[in-house]
Amino acid sequence: MSEGTQEATGSREPACVLCGRVDDKPSIFGKRYEMYGLCFHAYCVGFANGLCQHGIDNQNRGLFHIEHLIDLMRVAAQKLCFVCGKMGASVTCAEPGCTRSFHFPCAQEGQCVTQHFGDHR
């Protein structure tokens, strides 16, 4: 596991519902948010498959429907991370023909390239 991260077990801070980690490096994971009783990293949400942004709030944060995040969590719970071998992978490789899935921080640890171009949809 990367330096500066820890799994939620034994921690008093809530873990990201997508990657299961508590972090202290927002430059890697993005800012942590807590909404509707759920904690998540901005980048875990931003790179997750199937979560559509439906606007921007007054602090320039992307907005999404909580129901969509819950649906994403259910789908990810069935996917095995190619890097760490644990369930809950929410990012799928974009390479045509590749079906590997990852947790966002695992993708970086596994030397996968994560890129974002243009509008987030």
Nearest to 42 by CA among 74, 68, 58, 64: 64
Q: What is the pLDDT of residues 48-81, one digit of tens each?
A: 887 766 665 655 556 677 888 888 889 999 999 9
More confident residue, 118 or 32: 32
How far apart (Å, rounded) are the C-alpha atoms in residues 8 and 66?
22
Is the CA virtual torsion 108, 111, 117, 119 positive or negative? negative
% of the chain at pLDDT higher than 70: 73
Both tokens of 71, joined, read: 């649906």
The predicted model gives 98-117 an average pLDDT of 78
Q: What is the pLDDT of residues 7-46, one digit of tens each?
A: 545 557 889 998 998 876 788 888 888 888 889 888 888 8
Band (pLDDT 50/70/90 cuts) for residue 84 is: very high
